[in-house]
Amino acid sequence: MSTTVSESSFTGTVARVVPAVVSGSRIYIDCPSWCTVDHVESPEGHLEDVWHGGDYADLKVPRMDKTPDLLAFARLGLEPMDSDPQRRKAFVAVDDGGEGFYMRPDQADEFADNLEAFAARIRAMARTARDAA
């Protein structure tokens, strides 16, 4: 079977046609090039439940005398049939194990800026703690 790559209905997203299982039937769907979901291994009950997700970026936290623990993760997402039109375009999702946070690309940039500022403050605290030791 050959893979088809085309401009899809996902605004500006290069897609390929892949198999998916929906309501127990094999169908073929447009899938963004960055999507890592196996739509056959992760079947959905209804077409409107089909979603796309990219690789996860994990944020782990070291802990004194313990193994690092997952604090949050982020991924690309797209939900082509969602009732929220913003989720029908590629977005960035960040999840802390509770409520997910969905961001437009400009909001994801703002969040990344906040993370960089947060990291700078943590580095300053580490310097203070190191000097106090």
pLDDT in tens, 11-58: 556 789 999 999 999 999 999 999 999 999 999 999 999 999 999 999
- Per-residue model confidence (pLDDT) at position 40: 98
pLDDT attached to residue 4: 41
Question: How far apart are the C-alpha atoms of 53 and 22, rounded to whole Å?
Answer: 17
CA distances from 116 to 43, 109, 111, 129 (A): 38, 11, 9, 20
How many domains in the chain?
A: 1
pLDDT value at position 9?
Answer: 52
**Which residue range is the domain that position 14 belongs to?**
5-132
Task: Provide the CA 62 distance to its chain's centre, in angstroms.
Answer: 23
Task: Specify which residues 17 forms β-bridges with.
Answer: 30
